[in-house]
């Protein structure tokens, strides 16, 4: 049982956006724009063409306008993991966005002042509830795995799942030996769910509530 990637997007807004994008069958969403034109009767430009007012924007902009009229302003999106952002871009057929999300996350990790991990670092993951999976926390410790590699060992968790339900779910980011044992958790769970403590002091604090 593998932990699901958590998305925090309103499905109503996604349906509106996809409905606009589907006006042109099999179109690439990243290349689409929407134009709304008002043609004013009894008026003309110097060249004889009717006078118009025009709005042009992306399908997502029009969908958000419709959503706001129907339901009020959409709530700001909660942070998403780099992997979730890349998957969103992939669904839009936005190769640049997909690569950019992963490269940006990699650069943020490698440029962090506490990078790379050290022996004794404590890694805390705070998971929100997702479907049938309850909210819980996990605690890992970074250790020396030899040959210049590091491990990340699960030492505690607060999952209320029964023991036979925890396999492959609790502790799924434990790593026996890697150059960067935090890499998978950083990309898949997301830096917003991570808190890293070094020498008793937090050096990275995620934004999870």
SS3 call for 81: coil
Task: Tell me the pLDDT tens digit for each residue of 59-80.
Answer: 888 888 887 887 776 655 567 7
Q: pLDDT above 70 covers what percent of the chain?
A: 84
Domain closes at, from 35, 52, 71: 71
Q: Whole-angstrom distance between the N-terminal and C-terminal Cα of the chain?
A: 25
Across the strands, what pairs with 119? Answer: none
Q: Is the pTM of this model over 0.75?
A: no
Closest Cα to residue 158, out of 175, 177, 138, 133? 138
Task: Tell me the pLDDT tens digit for each residue of 8-28.
Answer: 455 677 788 888 888 888 888
Residue with the bigger pLDDT between 155 and 87: it is 155
Closest Cα to residue 71, out of 8, 11, 6? 11
Asked if residue 99 is part of any domain, the answer here is: no
Asked if residue 94 is part of any domain, the answer here is: no
Residue 50 pLDDT grade (very low, low, confident, very high; cuts 50, 70, 90): confident
133, 3 Cβ separation under 8 angstroms:
yes
What is d(CA 123, CA 52) in angstroms, rounded to the nearest whole number? 59
Residues 134 and 188 in one domain: yes
Residues 139 and 198 in one domain: yes
Supply the range of the domain harboring residue 67.
11-71
Token pair 């929407």 is at which residue?
Answer: 34
Token pair 């790593």 is at which residue?
Answer: 175
Please give, one letter per residue, the 3-state secondary structure of 8-36.
CCCHHHHHHHHHHHCCCCCCCHHHCCEEE
Other C-beta atoms closer than 10 Å to the C-beta of 142 total: 22
Q: Which of 28-32, 151-155, 158-162 reaches the highest mean pLDDT? A: 151-155
Q: Which of 122-131, 166-175, 197-206 has the lowest mean pLDDT?
A: 166-175
**Count of domains forming the chain:** 2
SS3 call for 80: coil
Please give, one letter per residue, the 3-state secondary structure of 96-133.
HHHHHHHHHHHHHHHCCCCCCCCCCCEEEEEECCECCE
> DSSP assignment, residue 195?
E
- Section 193-198 average pLDDT: 92
Asked if residue 19 is part of any domain, the answer here is: yes
């Amino acid at each position: 049982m593998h932990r699901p990637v958590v998305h925090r997007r309103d499905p109503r807004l996604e349906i509106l956006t996809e409905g606009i994008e589907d006006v042109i069958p099999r179109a690439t969403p990243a290349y689409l724009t929407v134009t709304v034109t008002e043609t004013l009767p009894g008026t003309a430009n110097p060249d004889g063409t009717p006078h118009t007012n025009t709005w042009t924007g992306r399908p997502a902009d029009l969908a958000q306008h419709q959503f706001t009229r129907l339901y009020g302003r959409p709530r700001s999106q909660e942070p998403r993991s780099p992997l979730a952002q890349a998957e969103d871009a992939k669904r839009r057929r936005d190769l640049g966005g997909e690569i950019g999300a992963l490269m940006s996350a990699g650069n943020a990790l490698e440029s962090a002042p506490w990078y790379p991990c050290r022996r004794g670092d404590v890694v805390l993951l705070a998971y929100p509830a997702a479907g049938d999976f309850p909210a819980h926390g996990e605690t890992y410790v970074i250790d020396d795995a030899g040959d210049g590699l590091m491990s990340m060992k699960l030492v505690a968790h607060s999952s209320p799942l029964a023991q036979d339900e925890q396999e492959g779910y609790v502790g799924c980011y434990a790593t026996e030996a890697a150059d960067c044992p935090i890499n998978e958790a950083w990309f898949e769970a997301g830096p917003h769910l991570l808190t890293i403590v070094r020498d008793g002091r937090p050096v990275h604090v995620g934004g999870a509530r």
